[in-house]
Amino acid sequence: MKKAIDSIMPSSSAGMSRIDGRLKVTGAAKYSAEYTPAGLTYGVLVGSTITKGSITSIDTKAAGQAPGVLAVITHLNAPKVPGDQPEGGKPVPPKGAFKVFYDDKIYYNGQPIALVIADTFERALFGASLVKAQYHTDKHITNLPDNRSNGFPPRGEGTYKRGTEDAWKAAPFKVEQEYIVPTVTHNPMELHAIIANWDADNKLSVWDKTQGVKGTQEDLAHLFKLPVENVQVHSQFVGGAFGSALRTWPHEVAAIIGAKVVKKPVKLVLSRADMFTSVGYRPFTWQKIAIGATADGKLTGITHEAAGQTSSYENFTEGPTGVSQNLYACPNVNTKYHLVALDIATPTWMRGPGEATGSFALESALDELSYSLKLDPVELRLRNYAEKDPESGKPFSSKFLNEAYQLGADHIGWSERKQEPASVKKDGWLVGYGMAGGMFGAYRSGATIRAKMNTDGSLLLQSAVSDIGPGTGTAMVLIASEQMGIPAEKIRFEMGDSSLPNAPTQGGSATTASVGSAVYQACADLKEKFQKLIGNGGTDKPDYAKVLKEHNLPSLEVVTETGGGNGMEKYAMNSWSVHFVKVLVNPATGVVKIDKVACVADSGHIISPKTARSQVVGGAIGGIGMALMEESIIDHRYGRYINNNFADYHVPVNADIPQIDALFVNKPDPIINPMGAKGMAEIALIGMAAAVANAVYNASGKRVRDLPITPDKVMA
């Protein structure tokens, strides 16, 4: 499959359509909350109204007597979760995952303090409104900038140094600036939901929104001390997640506890407001970048400091300073990363974790440097192009970022850009261009595929992998179709069920590389099995149905396990992207309009052009949201989110978004996997926010360093 192909810019109708498209457009695709096991009941969570302290009393009488209510569960009556209990003889770890209904402690506003279960959703919701708690309140802190001095280095990730520390200071040209990425919430359209049912005392089934059925299965087996095979996790369709379904959250455990109490299946769907407190978010992060350069634009030193928020009970790290360590060839780099523990729920990975935050700072600072050097920002990047990994010195498995720069610049009409900010006006709007790039490690892990060829010539592939939206099944079918030499319509891909063969959790842009490699190898194994049947003289891709019939076989099957690949020892493996943006800024109102976007991905060979395009377009739109509108705002007096709904938390809508062009260098990576494909989910977003900010500066002369770039900041 390692073909050298020219770069491509697919249209929205190019190539094969999604294999599950029909199910999605007819409403037949079933998401987690949409199953109806017999006796289904409904659970609604009650959240704490204080931010820190403890529950002194909790009145559940009225709720318990409300019509249809079957149970009200609190820390006082919840059955114990065995995996949450301290291990005998071992010291209790000072920090760890939040344990729902464990004790009277309150760690964050909105923390679940009760679960009301009723026979209908309406009755559970009403019952939940009747639960009243009294609290002992302690003073809380939810504000990072005021508490940055309390930061501490996370274990193993605190500092990095190569060359001379703070070498930027001695450079003739330098930039030193602070940048803010606020709390941003994943907010997939599907509310997180679970239906939990105890099939027997030691057997559990869940229909659950998760990016990894196997991971969830293991977590639940551990928490409830069950044999892994006694836990069934179904997650056939996932309505977006972007990282929010990478771990097991308290509401999932709460529903399972609830199902134990009422001895019936319990459906628990988070409200949109719950989505801000219950399933993680991109953490508010303060950063400071200092860069030094010679007069001809060679970087001499980068110093990058970051302080990100975490909860008081758990340390979450995402390495935002990593980009400064390896995006550019710079001899002297030192970075420092601190965490600040606040009275909030634990953050989690969100699309482009770490890099999205870090690249906003680094790529903005580089843009600032380009203006002081009076050098084109693309040229500045080319002068500091890393030909090998600056951190390890290893060669890259493949890197065609320079081609990506060229493709994007040509496509957006970069030559139209004026270096002088605020110098172009059209129809009353200021016009500006900006660019920025991103990178993300190209990972691959082990996966197993069962492949079965039937006498009708149809191929069944099975894997536990989830698809949160990118079109995993579609890409897998395309790989198999090419390998087996049969049409895609003949191939079925079954997924999203823990009883299927092992697959990694969908995250870190690694699914195609991991599961795709297993599909590729399974096809090779299956073909080999056919060859053995045929004996000598068989062709590579025989008429499978005919061979089966001739040998009187109902089917032929292989189960193939592939490893994580071993390229990492010798090579540095990454995907790269660069985003070019043209914006219009209204000088009277500060409104920013995105006029044109060209995103270029260097992510190896493109397997499924249509879905790849959608992924890049979607990532770019996520980046536009991050740049222009997204911010989860806490009223620090109360420690509570005040915009926890879609009217006040703005995400891009159709009117905000122009046509977005997605271009692919489309050169296979010879090392990472047999398809030559690298991930693209994260790089689609990484760098986008800086590209927009840089374009806003070019248009208006206003440099906004704290996201989002709202009109008030442009006008300030």
Partner 1 sequence: MESKKTCTGPDEGLDIKDSSRRNFLKQSTLLTAIALTPGTAIKAAADHVDEQFAAVFEKMPLKMEVNGKQQSLSVEPRSTLLDILREQLDLTGTKKGCDHGQCGACTVHVDGHRVNSCLTLGIMVNGKKITTIEGLAKGDQLHPMQEAFIKHDGFQCGYCTPGQIMSAVACIREGHANSEHEIREYMSGNICRCGAYPNIVNAIQEVKDGGMKV
Catalytic residues: 682
Sheet holding 491-494, edge to edge: 491-494, 459-462, 447-454, 555-562
* Residue 271 binding target from partner 1, ligand FES, none, CB below 5 to 8 Å by type: partner 1
Tell me how far CA of residue 239 lies from CA of 252, 317, 613, in angstroms.
17, 26, 19
Region 466-505 residues binding ligand FES, contact defined as CB under 6 A: 469
Residues near ligand FES (CB under 6 A), total:
3
* Residue 228 binding target from partner 1, ligand FES, none, CB below 5 to 8 Å by type: none
Q: Which is nearer to partner 1, 92 or 647 (CB)?
A: 647
Residue 306 binds partner 1 (CB under 8 A) = no
* Residue 536 binding target from partner 1, ligand FES, none, CB below 5 to 8 Å by type: none
Q: Which residues pair with 160 in a beta bridge?
A: 335
Residues whose CB falls within 8 Å of the CB of residue 469, separated by 6 or more in sequence, listed in order: 238, 239, 240, 241, 618
* Residue 621 binding target from partner 1, ligand FES, none, CB below 5 to 8 Å by type: partner 1
Length of the chain, please?
716
* Residue 198 binding target from ligand FES, partner 1, none, CB below 5 to 8 Å by type: none
Q: Given candidates 109, 111, 187, 666, which one binds partner 1 under the rule CB under 8 A?
A: 187
Residue 121 binds ligand FES (CB under 6 A) = no
The CB density around residue 667, as the number of other CB atoms within 10 Å, is 22
Q: Which stretch binds partner 1 (CB under 8 A): 338-346, 540-548, 550-558, 606-614?
A: 606-614
Residue 23 binds ligand FES (CB under 6 A) = no
Q: Confirm if 658 and 594 have CB atoms less than 8 A apart.
A: yes
Q: Which is nearer to partner 1, 78 or 594 (CB)?
A: 594
Residues whose CB falls within 8 Å of the CB of residue 87, separated by 6 or more in sequence, listed in order: none
Residue 120 binds partner 1 (CB under 8 A) = yes
- Distance (Å, rounded) from C-alpha 647 to C-alpha 569? 49
Residue 238 binds partner 1 (CB under 8 A) = yes
Say what angle helices 511-534 and 472-484 make with each other, to 10 degrees.
30
Q: Which residues pair with 660 in a beta bridge?
A: 597
Q: Which is nearer to ligand FES, 18 or 140 (CB)?
A: 18
* Residue 34 binding target from ligand FES, partner 1, none, CB below 5 to 8 Å by type: partner 1
Q: How far is the CB of 240 from ligand FES (least distance, A)?
A: 5
Binding mask 450-469 for ligand FES (x = CB under 6 A): -------------------x
Q: Which residues pair with 491 in a beta bridge?
A: 459
Considering only CA atoms, give the Rg of the chain: 26
Residue 689 binds partner 1 (CB under 8 A) = no
Residues whose CB falls within 8 Å of the CB of residue 224, separated by 6 or more in sequence, listed in order: 81, 82, 83, 204, 231, 256
Residues near partner 1 (CB under 8 A), total:
68
Q: How far is the CB of 238 from partner 1 (least distance, A)?
A: 6
- Distance (Å, rounded) from C-alpha 359 to C-alpha 28? 40
* Residue 36 binding target from partner 1, ligand FES, none, CB below 5 to 8 Å by type: partner 1
Q: Which residues pair with 282 in a beta bridge?
A: 184
* Residue 28 binding target from partner 1, ligand FES, none, CB below 5 to 8 Å by type: partner 1
In which element (H, E) is residue 278 found? helix 275-278
Q: Which stretch binds partner 1 (CB under 8 A): 138-146, 468-476, 493-501, 532-540?
A: 468-476
- Distance (Å, rounded) from C-alpha 514 to C-alpha 564? 7
Cβ-proximal residue to ligand FES, closest one:
189
Q: Which stretch binds partner 1 (CB under 8 A): 187-195, 372-380, 502-510, 700-708?
A: 187-195
- Distance (Å, rounded) from C-alpha 152 to C-alpha 340? 7
Q: Given candidates 47, 53, 352, 618, which one binds partner 1 under the rule CB under 8 A?
A: 618
Residue 37 binds ligand FES (CB under 6 A) = no
Binding mask 178-217 for ligand FES (x = CB under 6 A): -----------x----------------------------
Of 440, 523, 444, which is closest to residue 479 (Cα–Cα)? 523
* Residue 17 binding target from ligand FES, partner 1, none, CB below 5 to 8 Å by type: partner 1
Residue 659 binds partner 1 (CB under 8 A) = yes
Q: Can you spell out the DSSP letters for 402-468?
A: HHHHHHHHHHHTGGG--SSTT--EETTEEEEEEEEEEEEE-----EEEEEEEETTS-EEEE--B--S
Residue 189 binds partner 1 (CB under 8 A) = yes
Q: Which is nearer to partner 1, 644 or 698 (CB)?
A: 644
- Distance (Å, rounded) from C-alpha 500 to C-alpha 497? 6
Of 289, 43, 353, 283, which is closest to residue 142 (Cα–Cα)? 283
- Distance (Å, rounded) from C-alpha 106 to C-alpha 344? 10
Region of 600 (left: φ > 0; alpha: ψ -120 to 50; beta: rest) is: beta
Residue 21 binds partner 1 (CB under 8 A) = yes
Q: Given candidates 250, 320, 434, 469, which one binds partner 1 under the rule CB under 8 A?
A: 469
Three-class secondary structure assignment of 81-92: CHHHCCCCCCCC
Q: Given candidates 62, 488, 559, 715, which one binds partner 1 under the rule CB under 8 A?
A: 62
Q: Given candidates 64, 158, 240, 538, which one binds ligand FES under the rule CB under 6 A?
A: 240
Q: Which is nearer to partner 1, 260 or 610 (CB)?
A: 610
Q: Which is nearer to partner 1, 17 or 147 (CB)?
A: 17
Q: Which stretch binds partner 1 (CB under 8 A): 109-117, 183-191, 339-347, 358-366?
A: 183-191
Q: How far is the CB of 469 from ligand FES (least distance, A)?
A: 5
Residue 14 binds ligand FES (CB under 6 A) = no
Q: Which is nearer to partner 1, 241 or 672 (CB)?
A: 241
Q: Which is nearer to ligand FES, 237 or 576 (CB)?
A: 237
Q: Which stretch binds partner 1 (CB under 8 A): 27-35, 372-380, 444-452, 635-643?
A: 27-35
Q: Confirm if 145 and 309 have CB atoms less than 8 A apart.
A: no
* Residue 121 binding target from partner 1, ligand FES, none, CB below 5 to 8 Å by type: partner 1
Measured in whole angstroms, the distance separating CA 260 from the mean position of its chain's CA atoms is 32
Kindly state the DSSP code that residue 282 receives in the 8-state scheme. Answer: B
Q: Confirm if 42 and 265 have CB atoms less than 8 A apart.
A: no
Q: How far is the CB of 239 from partner 1 (least distance, A)?
A: 3
Binding mask 416-455 for ligand FES (x = CB under 6 A): ----------------------------------------
- Distance (Å, rounded) from C-alpha 368 to C-alpha 694? 8
Q: How far is the CB of 625 from partner 1 (least distance, A)?
A: 8
Question: Based on the number of CB atoms within 10 Å of its own CB, is 8 exposed (0-12), middle (13-18) or buried (19 or more)?
Answer: middle
Q: Where are the beta strands (DSSP E) in 257-406?
A: 266-269, 285-293, 299-311, 333-342
Q: Which stretch binds partner 1 (CB under 8 A): 266-274, 332-340, 385-393, 545-553?
A: 266-274
Q: Which is nearer to partner 1, 134 or 659 (CB)?
A: 659
398-402 long-range contacts (CB < 8 A, ≥24 apart) are 398/602, 398/604, 398/667, 398/668, 398/669, 398/670, 398/671, 398/672, 398/678, 399/574, 399/576, 399/602, 400/576, 400/602, 400/665, 400/667, 401/437, 401/576, 401/578, 401/602
Instruction: Please tell me the chain's helix, strand, coil percentages from 3-state DSSP, rounded to the nearest 5.
Output: 30, 25, 45
Termini Cα distance of the chain: 53
Q: Give the binding site for partner 1 (CB under 8 A).
A: 12-13, 17-18, 20-31, 33-34, 36, 62, 65-68, 120-123, 187-191, 237-240, 242, 269, 271-272, 468-471, 610-611, 613-615, 617-622, 645-647, 651-655, 657-660
Q: Give the binding site for ligand FES (CB under 6 A).
A: 189, 240, 469
